Amino acid sequence: MAPPMIVELQDTTTSKISKELVTMRRAGGSAALSRVLTLLVITSAGYEEDAIAAASLSSREHPCRIVVVVKGALTGETRLDAQIRLGGDAGAAEVIVLRTFGPDAHVDESLVSGLLLPDAPIVAWWPHGVPKNAAETPLGRIAHRRITDSGAEADPRAALFVLADSYRAGDTDLAWTRLTLWRAQLASVLDQLDPAGLRAVTVTGAVDSPSTVLLAAWLRLCLKIPVTLASSPEGTGVRSVRFSRDEGDVELSRPSGDVAELYQPGQKAQRISLPQRPVSDCLSEEMRRLDPDEVFGEVVREGLKLTNLRSIRASQR
């Protein structure tokens, strides 16, 4: 792999960044026309490199321009620093890192408008820091899709209710995307069961896992039967789903590792690949679709209410 081209621009402007990008692209032979979207990454100092690494991996499937807005200190002189990365670890992307400083530095459309690809969709991603209303933030308003990650929050379950209260079509969260493989396997299991024989469901997962809550909300919304949440230690994600039936329980369990086991009455346990998904895979999945995720919308707006987690959280305070 050829070494990346990296240029640093201190105390600069969007116009200068755009001109430098054109110069670098000509020197490196990179064509802007090959990019299919603009990915806006909104983060804080110290978190940007992990986000850039995940976005760059995703760009191998979705060639894009990645504009990373890093909000710096609000004190001192107002200025904009930038870094442009082409080639190498940038993958199939052009990476532009904008670092804002000072009290008058505004993270809004005017900051990024000159760097957006013309006539291309815009996806906004907050890898850390779920906004109170993503759709009403300055950059969220111009985006076709808005991606948050409640799993990166100090209180992931509380972050889910922030999303539920402000949900707008086009919003999604990586805690939901991490469930894609689980939902596919569970849908396959449910196709083999008589819905009339289902009495209850138990979802077990880490106390810090918003994916566990979303999975319980989805099952409650789909099956219209009681769903119980059981907690496992932090950092373990979703552990198991058990369907209680008169004919015998059916359970899909992943106690550790990337392999789950499906237990059914009268049958040998079936081993199923069910790995925990890295951020880059989840981000790639979300970038495949630019239409609203209607199922996610129903789960956060209606399914979470059915889990009654709000009242549970209130009673625990």
**Nearest one of 121, 6, 146, 126 to 68, comparing CA atoms:** 126
Provide the CATH number for the domain formed by 180-273 in this structure: 3.40.30
Q: Where are the domains of the chain?
A: 5-174, 180-273
Instruction: Provide the pLDDT for residue 317.
Output: 32
What stretches of the chain show up as alpha helix (H) in DSSP? 14-28, 48-58, 109-112, 156-166, 174-177, 180-191, 210-223, 279-288, 294-298, 304-307, 309-316
Instruction: Provide the pLDDT for residue 316.
Output: 38
Instruction: Provide the pLDDT for residue 2.
Output: 59
Q: What is the pLDDT of residues 220-257, one digit of tens each?
A: 999 999 999 998 888 778 999 999 999 999 999 998 88
| pLDDT digit string (tens) for the chain, length 317 residues | 556 789 999 999 999 999 999 898 887 665 544 778 999 999 988 899 999 999 999 998 888 999 999 988 888 899 999 999 987 666 667 999 999 999 888 889 999 999 999 999 999 999 999 999 999 999 999 999 999 999 999 999 889 989 999 999 999 999 999 999 999 999 999 999 998 899 999 999 988 899 999 999 999 999 999 999 998 888 778 999 999 999 999 999 998 889 999 999 999 999 999 999 999 999 999 999 889 999 999 999 999 988 755 433 333 33
Q: Which amino acid is at 37?
A: L
The dihedrals phi and psi of 184, each to the nearest 5 degrees, come to -65, -45
Specify whether the CB–CB gap between 54 and 127 falls below 8 A. yes
Beta bridge partners of 97: 68, 83
Instruction: Provide the pLDDT for residue 309.
Output: 52
CA 202 to chain centre: 25
Provide the CATH number for the domain formed by 5-174 in this structure: 3.40.50
Instruction: Provide the pLDDT for residue 311.
Output: 36
Instruction: Provide the pLDDT for residue 315.
Output: 32
Instruction: Provide the pLDDT for residue 39.
Output: 97
Q: What is the pLDDT of residues 142-180, one digit of tens each?
A: 999 999 999 999 999 889 989 999 999 999 999 999 999
Specify whether the CB–CB gap between 115 and 67 falls below 8 A. yes
Beta bridge partners of 70: 43, 99
